[in-house]
Amino acid sequence: MVNPAVVELDGIDIEALAREASAGDVVALNALLVAVRPEALRLCGRFLTNREDAEEACQDTLWAVARGIGDFHGRSKFRTWLHSLAANRARSTYQAIRRRNDGEAGGTPLPDRPDPRRTSVTAGTRLDLLDALDGLPPDYAEAAALRDVLGLSYGDIAELLDVPEGTVKSRIHEARRRLRLRLNDHRQ
């Protein structure tokens, strides 16, 4: 029987690699980065529909893993930590792209809504969601993104954020309420 607590990709024990990398094993870190890159790209792609944008966020996620692995002490599963990093880096990439596009417009305001002739409904919805998440307090936005975009369980989110599960549920409930209001206002 397979232990569900052990995350394996192509026969590689990711949790063991993460522990070794956290202890300073550079070979384990390199193997870990190679092993989790496809998953990091998939996670970033759930936020960013443009492949190049998702690639940029994925690279930032892998860089964050490499920089922060020494601080990963296994309080949560590595995969849960990776989800959090990917969500944060994808949102940061979106914000940077938006700022860059605002700057390139040279003071000319960009359309608020994506052009439906050039943007899929899914992409437009994600852009609306990313904009709405930016308007939430960080604790709410992070909890909502981890649950509703990346599909983490309440327990995993609680473990990752080091707060009680009830707090996670409360944050997600309030985030959803505020997101509904923002998205409804945006559509009108």
Say if residue 10 is in the same domain as residue 61. yes
Q: What is the CATH number for 165?
A: 1.10.10.10
In whole angstroms, give the CA distance from residue 134 to residue 120: 21
pLDDT, tens digit, for every residue of 32-48? 999 999 999 999 999 99
pLDDT, tens digit, for every residue of 60-102? 999 999 999 998 887 788 999 999 999 999 999 988 888 887 7
pLDDT exceeds 80 at position 134:
yes
Q: What is the CATH number for 52?
A: 1.10.1740.10
Domain of residue 120 covers 115-188
Say if residue 59 is in the same domain as residue 106. yes
Enter the pTM of the model: 0.71
